[in-house]
Amino acid sequence: MLNDLGKKADILDNLNEIKKIDKSGMLELQKKVPEFIQDAIERARNLVVPSDIEIKGKKLKYYNFSQIIGVGMGGSAISFDFLRSFLRYANVKIPVESNRDYNLPPYADENTLVVLISYSGNTEETLSCFLDAIEKGCPVVALTSGGILEAFCLKFGLPYVKLPSGLPPRASLPYLFFPLLIVLEKLNIHPSFEKETLAVVKVLKELKDELKPETLIIDNLAKRIAICLYNKIPLIYGHTFFDGVAYRLKSQFNENTKILAFPAVFSELNHNEIMGWEAADEKLIEPFYPILIRDPDEPPAIKARIEISRDQIILKKKKQVIEIMARGEGVLAKMFSVTYIGDFTSVYLAILYGTDPTPVDSISLLKSQLAERTKLKEDIQVKFDSL
């Protein structure tokens, strides 16, 4: 593996060269994730949630919820995907869904808790849903570092968690996810997630020493995976509570590495995607490199599906696959251990390509062009000013 890439791989052990490429310090942000988690929890503990709030004759009630709808885009929406997956295995008996749209679904009502996350506070889809939530009488909680979203919360006296500004949204996952657990505690949806969060911090602190730039390739799993993925397109295969994690890894390869990547989930992929490995022309398969997310405690049926797919189908077309084994105690620790490995991997792969992982020029261009063409934020501002 290393011989094929020759001297190019050596850059991953050269801290000076890494800093020349990673100009904005994405790797330094990755190293701070355990501390970010602890800070996010402390910030959320300051949240005060009222029993009800009246806006324009409508009373928003912060109790007796029938469902939770999380509104956000990109990294913000991923936090709700994580929450949904985690709560299914934490025995929390209230449905959670992510809403990546300009409007809430028609079944959202006064018993629907709407949690709006926009790191910048200016995400137009989220602001549009904010207006929809107020019109439907949905109780609202927000997470933001400022912007229009914060201004709306202040105007109406709505509860929100103030996040630190200045981070790339994708690097702020600790601030976008862990306050959600505190919100659930404060709303009496679940008594405490302290045990689970402590397990996450513990495993990530252990992993940080293995994954940080100072750790050489021979001992650094993320660097070795990045080398395997050089000039390849990652296919990330998750299962059970790793469905959101698989999508997060795909997104990190998109934003940090600036490459295409695709997620899929067992056992669904056994009913469709697995047939793609039968391509008559192997040139159609050659660019792809499968990554299997594994768990030492996999359910027997899932374990069998993964291993049959790997041994009897995929490895007949590929010389090897990558397996990322989850670590830590409990569902949440396992989810974040794989996420942490994937996050570091995406940055190291960017370094191999000579790509600064932080800028997202195409996203910035799109937002700029949309602002010129649609004037949606101005329309939303007018509607809120009329309330």
Task: Please indicate whether the domains covering 2-24+206-352 and 30-192 agree at the CATH topology level.
Answer: yes
State the Cα angle at 355 between 27 and 292, rounded to 5°. Answer: 70
Beta strands in 246-353 (DSSP E): 262-266, 288-294, 322-325
Q: Is 239 a catalytic residue?
A: no
59: helix, strand or coil:
strand
Q: Is 196 a catalytic residue?
A: no
Q: Are strands 140-144 and 160-162 parallel, antiparallel or unpaired?
A: parallel
State the Cα angle at 345 between 207 and 313, rounded to 5°. Answer: 105
Closest CA to 239 of 288, 322, 298: 298
- Please tell us whether the domain made up of 2-24+206-352 is placed in CATH 1.10.260.40: no
Q: Where are the domains of the chain?
A: 2-24+206-352, 30-192
pLDDT tens for the chain, 387 residues: list them.
445 576 789 999 999 999 999 999 999 999 999 999 999 999 999 999 999 999 878 899 999 999 999 999 988 889 999 999 999 988 888 999 999 999 999 999 999 999 999 999 999 999 999 999 999 999 999 999 999 999 999 999 999 999 999 999 999 999 999 999 999 999 999 989 999 999 999 999 999 999 999 999 999 999 999 999 999 999 999 999 999 999 999 999 999 999 999 999 999 999 999 999 999 899 999 999 999 999 999 999 999 999 999 999 999 999 999 999 999 999 999 999 999 999 999 999 999 999 999 999 999 898 888 888 887 878 888 887 877
Q: Catalytic pick from 124, 150, 255, 298?
A: 255
Q: Is 271 a catalytic residue?
A: yes
Q: Catalytic pick from 271, 283, 316, 319?
A: 271
Closest CA to 159 of 76, 261, 50, 86: 50
State the Cα angle at 237 between 233 and 238, rounded to 5°. Answer: 145
Strand partners, 118: 144
CATH of 30-192, one of 3.40.30.160, 3.40.228.10, 3.90.650.10, 3.40.50.10490: 3.40.50.10490
